[in-house]
Amino acid sequence: MPELPEVEVVRHGLEPAVTGATVTRVEVLDARSLRRHDGPGEDFVERLTGARFLTPERRGKFLWIPTEGSAEALVVHLGMSGQVLLREPAAERDRLTRIVLDVVSPGHGPVRVDFVDQRIFGSMALDALVPARDRPEQLIPSQVSHIARDPVDPLFDDDLFLRRLAAKDTGIKRALLDQTLVSGIGNIYADEALWAARIHYDQPTRALSRPRAKTLLAEVRLVLGRALVEGGTSFSSTYVNVNGASGYFSHSLNAYGQHGKPCPRCGRPIVREDFMNRGSHFCPWCQRVRSR
């Protein structure tokens, strides 16, 4: 599933093309991609046609584009394989295109925005904007209101995160994947940050000292930052940016997907263990469960 870096790369790519753009036409090719929209496809088309987009925003893995003069936004969730592609209006469509938006951009003229989704776990929806719980002056979609801020958000509260983490009674990786505690971190970047911080994925949160927790948070930010620079992580053609190009952070991975290969730090084999219907990748020598 696309994580924070992949969604931010898409948001950044959309920004110059859709900010200030007017939606001239909406076509829903597969209503299943409107599963999070409260209403039928006709409602989605009617409300979005003629809307003027503001600057795209993101929290964790959620992306949204507010519309001018209304208290709602177009919310985009990429799911497992969703793509948002910018195309020339006459360009050939991908056979897995689910929703098409024709827009006129102030800086780019007519542009086609295609929502492509192989597995149809992603979605588009129009959603009401509501005050953020921690900053009422900031408006976010109601579908995103339960999501915590992510570590690259300038308003992320380190001290609050560390206090809430210490109060949890779970394994550290489960905590990192809890989007109500901290958003945007998925399996890939959790494994990479834990490897960098030398912390076992099943380390109890109550037995994680504050200095080690602070180190882990710093490593999370470093991993996310490097992934952003490298355009995210692509293992197949399912994740691409708005121009259809793949990210290349997969070449920089130290733990995730590296089972059987030598640990870059100690040379012993990286192993994979089943974890929450997925896998955890770690070095048993460098990453041991500790009492503190």
In the residue annotation, 2 being an active-site residue is answered as yes
**Considering Cα of 50, then 56, then 59, then 60, what sign does the dihedral take?**
positive
Q: Is the pLDDT of residue 241 over 60?
A: no
Instruction: Dump pLDDT digits (tens) for 4-23.
Output: 888 888 898 899 999 999 99
What is d(CA 52, CA 66) in angstroms, rounded to the nearest whole number? Answer: 9
> 251: pLDDT confidence band, cut at 50, 70 and 90?
low
In the residue annotation, 3 being an active-site residue is answered as yes
Which of 11, 52, 58, 61 is catalytic? The answer is 61
In the residue annotation, 61 being an active-site residue is answered as yes
Instruction: Dump pLDDT digits (tens) for 37-66.
Output: 999 999 999 999 999 999 999 998 899 999
Pick the residue with more confidence: 240 or 159?
Answer: 159
pLDDT of residue 48: 98
Which of 163, 206, 261, 278 is catalytic? The answer is 278
pLDDT of residue 126: 98
| Domain definitions of the chain by residue range | 4-144, 158-282
Percentage of the chain surpassing pLDDT 70? 92
Q: What rounded mean pLDDT belongs to the chain? A: 91
In the residue annotation, 46 being an active-site residue is answered as no
pLDDT of residue 89: 95
CATH of domain 4-144: 3.20.190.10
Q: Which CATH architecture has domain 158-282?
A: Orthogonal Bundle (1.10)
pLDDT of residue 144: 95
Q: What would you report as the CA-atom Rg of the chain, rounded to the nearest whole angstrom?
A: 20
Q: What is the DSSP string of the chain?
A: ---HHHHHHHHHHHHHHHTT-EEEEEEES-GGGGTTSSS-HHHHHHHHTT-BB---EEETTEEEEEBTTSSEEEEEE-TTTEEEEEE-TTSPPPTTEEEEEEEEETTTEEEEEEEEESSS--EEEEEEEEE-SS-TTSEEEGGGTTSPPPTTSTT--HHHHHHHHHH--SBHHHHHT-TTTS-S--HHHHHHHHHHHT--TT-BGGGS-HHHHHHHHHHHHHHHHHHHHTT---SSTTS--TTSPPP-GGGG-SSTT-TTSBPTTT-SBPEEEEETTEEEEE-TTTS-----
Q: Is the pLDDT of residue 252 over 80?
A: no
Q: Is the pLDDT of residue 230 over 80?
A: no
